[in-house]
Amino acid sequence: MDPLMASMKVASSGLEAQSARLRIVAENLANSQSTGTTAGADPYARKTISFERVLDRASGSELVKVGKVGRDRVPFRVEHRPGHPAADASGNVKMPNVNPLVELTDMREANRTYEANLQIIRQTRQLVSMTIDLLRS
């Protein structure tokens, strides 16, 4: 496979991975207040994402793919809210272990890497059009 086309493919796999990461961030933020429904039940546990490499046999280059989506094992926050459906006998409710600050930092980083991948695609397209322009002279 042509190296320029291969770099397009690799960069688009990067875009895909980063958008999956953004989706996880969105899920975490959306569920930052999702508690359980029965007394003493566990709330939403924050999701974590990791990436791994995978060899693309057609081009011989390493693509990136989403690895395991895991759960954060940080202990849940506990708030005192008697009367809440998920409150235990002493009136404490377990809240999700989502920290908005961490999520926003993660989002920013995903955004940055996404932009870098876009820039690679843009540059590669420029290289291709420079080569095609040779035929035009």
Partner 1 sequence: MGPVQLFEFASRQAEWLASRQAVIAGNVAHADTPNYKAKDVVPFARVLGRTQLAMGATHASHLQGGASASPEVEVKRDRAWEISHSGNSVRLEQELIKTGEVNRGMSLNTSIVQTFHRMLLTSLRSQ
Q: C-beta of 100: minimal distance to partner 1 in Å?
A: 21
Query: Smallest Cα–Cα separation from 36: which of 87, 70, 80?
Result: 87
Nearer to partner 1, 35 or 124 (CB): 124
24 is a contact residue toward partner 1 (CB under 8 A): no
Q: C-beta of 44: minimal distance to partner 1 in Å?
A: 24
Contact (Cβ atoms closer than 8 angstroms) between residue 47 and residue 37: no
The residue within the footprint of partner 1, chosen from 2, 68, 73, 83 (CB under 8 A), is: 2
Per-residue binding string, partner 1, 42-81, x by CB under 8 A, is: --------xxxx-----xxxxxx-----------------
Output b/e per residue, 39-75; b: 16+ Cβ within 10 A: eeeebbbbbebebeeeeeeebebebbebeeeeeeeee
Helices 100-133, 3-30: axis angle to 10 degrees equals 160
The residue within the footprint of partner 1, chosen from 75, 83, 101, 134 (CB under 8 A), is: 134
Nearer to partner 1, 54 or 78 (CB): 54
Strand residues in the chain grouped as ranges (E): 47-56, 61-71, 77-80, 92-95
111 is a contact residue toward partner 1 (CB under 8 A): no
Taking residue 129's Cβ as centre, other Cβ atoms within 10 Å add up to: 9
Task: Write out the residues near partner 1 by the rule CB under 8 A.
Answer: 2-4, 6-8, 10-11, 13-14, 17-18, 21, 50-53, 59-64, 109, 112-113, 116-117, 119-120, 123-124, 126-127, 130-131, 133-134, 137
